[in-house]
Amino acid sequence: MRIHILPKILRVKKEVIIRSQDSKIDIALVEDNHLVELIHNQADTNQFTVGDIYIAKVKKIISGLNAVFVDLGYDKDAFLHYHDLGPQFSSLSKLLKELFTTKPIRQFQKYQRLPDIDKNGNISDVIEPGQYVLVQIAKEPISTKGPRLSSEISIAGRNIVLLPFSNKISISQKIKSLDEKKRLKRVVRALTPENYGVIVRTAAEGSSISDIEGEIRILIDKWEKALRKIRKNKQKAPYLIMSEMNRVSALLRDIFTPEFNNILTDDSELKDELKEYITTIAPDRAKIVKLYSAGPPIFEQFGIERQIKSSFGQTVPVKNGAYLIIERTEAFHVIDVNSGNRTKFEKDQESNAFDVNKSSAIEIARQIRLRDLGGIIVVDFIDMRTSVNKQKLFETMKEAMSTDRAKHNILPLSRFGLMQITRQRVRPELKLNTNEMCPTCSGTGQISPSINFIHKIELDVRHITKVLKIKNVIVKTHPVIAGYLTKGIVPVILKWKFRYSMSISVVESSDYSFLEYSYHTKDGKKITL
């Protein structure tokens, strides 16, 4: 299989690191050692996932919304709008009724399609309460809402998406070569049977005829097997007839490109499954799937655990003392950019503001993708005066979010310095509580992640020596923290001495709380950051 690779992508080191714990699988996508996506997956309870196809039962028609509520087996009714029925809903309904009878099952391509439904019609004209419908999950349950459904069925593969009861052939807009678009369209049209349409994905660029033909055949077999399942399954709706592949394979299907460096997992059975899957889509790359069997836990070994702890709090550090505050309201997310109190030692105010904003934009793009934020996102950047810098910041944000697979739209900075972003949300936002129990507090006191605490002190020390030009520093802190910094074969402060070419010592104080600390010069004067 031939795949064209853009030179820019080659510079990014990509890895997938997978941790398996009991029935849970955690998938981390890492780019240039930075965690950019994190997926939590229950291995045995992967229900109501985007792409799953169900036989469901209509409960109630809501004429005012031109929609119906559907029993999908979830504790909240699912929602199906008229515009999500798809033009061939009548054909799909006729097929479903026939499958519920004892008539012999015909080949799908031999079914006679009915005329498209009126795109401006009323849902009560095509659906009635108690009717069985074939639906696909378009959005997973989010907050108090049940799943959002569609009856315009699509079955995704790596190179193509198969569309039953369709006749359209469309090509990904990300494929830029007109000759390649024409070639793919000609090949797919020749290989696609009657009653099927196809969307050619970006990954198909450069694929051979045999690759595309094989995938079309696999997806058609998958669909027709689901139809036979409807006939065999005697239980009443709702029930699942086709499941999206597990999220590990689904993630690889959507993101895998030949420049991936490693796919690591600590589960031997999962490693074999992944290797088999990679072999089917890129046989020459199967060797990058490896089993991790070293001593430290896999997420700790590759710095994933520390990044999780530092990335999911309300306050997120950027660099040089700058930080983000991320808050969620009922209607949207708000991100506030703060410069901290260190940039005053650097350049002029406008340059400082742009530097902080630029770094923050890159981190915000990562946070949006990592937390899978959706809906409306409002970013309050530090005020800048020049239109040139505002435009540069807008371009930086667009570039930073260009790797985000979710549909999104970014508006330029408003006159108030606000940037508005909309992003499609099909799954619940990923929220993790990274706080820990305080070891010196009674009761249920919690503290911010201790794994970040030493990192924060190191950043302060670096700032003191690099920016404030103070080369002799005393850190005063709680005895437990002091012990951590000074004990061991190679103490932490010894590493800092060599790393920053400075003199540093630690003084313990039992008067300090567990996470309290301060910095002083050698003559005892307190250092203000």
Which one, of 444, 441, 434, 432, lies nearest residue 516 by Cα? 441
Question: For residue 133, what pLDDT band results from cuts at 50, 70 and 90?
Answer: very high
Chain mean position to CA 202: 19
Q: How many helices (H) and strands (E) does the chain have?
A: 13, 26
In this predicted structure, what is the pLDDT of residue 83?
A: 94
Q: What single-letter amino acid sits at 225?
A: K
- Domains by residue range for the chain, with CATH: 7-44+258-300 (3.30.420), 53-242 (2.40.50.140), 312-423 (3.40.630), 436-520 (3.40.1260.20)
513 touches 501 (CB < 8 A): no
Q: What radius of gyration, in Å, describes the C-alpha atoms of the chain?
A: 28
C-alpha to C-alpha distance for 505 and 485, rounded to whole angstroms? 9
297 touches 17 (CB < 8 A): no
Kindly tell me if the per-residue pLDDT of 195 is higher than 80: yes
Question: For residue 3, what pLDDT band results from cuts at 50, 70 and 90?
Answer: very low
Question: For residue 286, what pLDDT band results from cuts at 50, 70 and 90?
Answer: confident
Q: What single-letter amino acid sits at 496?
A: W
375 touches 329 (CB < 8 A): no
Token pair of 216 as six digits: 């079309």
Chain mean position to CA 459: 29
In this predicted structure, what is the pLDDT of residue 182?
A: 94
- Paired with 375 in beta bridges are 423
Question: For residue 82, what pLDDT band results from cuts at 50, 70 and 90?
Answer: very high
Kindly tell me if the per-residue pLDDT of 450 is higher than 60: no
C-alpha to C-alpha distance for 71 and 78, rounded to whole angstroms? 6
CA angle 90, 93, 95 (to 5 degrees): 110
For every residue of 314-380, DSSP letters joined together read SEEE-STT-EEEEEE-SSEEEEEEE-TT-GGGSS-HHHHHHHHHHHHHHHHHHHHHHHT--EEEEEE
Kindly tell me if the per-residue pLDDT of 334 is higher than 90: yes
- What is the per-residue pLDDT across 45-76, written as a single tens digit (0 to 9) for each? 446 788 899 999 999 999 999 999 999 888 88
Entry pTM? 0.69
Kindly tell me if the per-residue pLDDT of 158 is higher than 90: no
In this prediction, residues 115-126 reach a mean pLDDT of: 92
Token pair of 380 as six digits: 């309050």
- What is the per-residue pLDDT across 472-486, written as a single tens digit (0 to 9) for each? 999 999 888 888 888
485 touches 475 (CB < 8 A): yes
Kindly tell me if the per-residue pLDDT of 142 is higher than 80: no
Question: For residue 7, what pLDDT band results from cuts at 50, 70 and 90?
Answer: very low
**What is the phi-psi region of residue 122: left when phi exceeds 0, alpha when psi lies from -120 to 50, beta otherwise?**
beta
SS3 160: strand
Question: For residue 8, what pLDDT band results from cuts at 50, 70 and 90?
Answer: very low
Q: What single-letter amino acid sits at 192?
A: T
Percent of the chain with pLDDT over 70: 88
In this predicted structure, what is the pLDDT of residue 440?
A: 54
How far apart, in Å, are the Cα atoms of 169 and each of 67, 93, 137, 176? 29, 23, 23, 17
- DSSP letter (8 states) at residue 142: B
C-alpha to C-alpha distance for 50 and 123, rounded to whole angstroms? 23
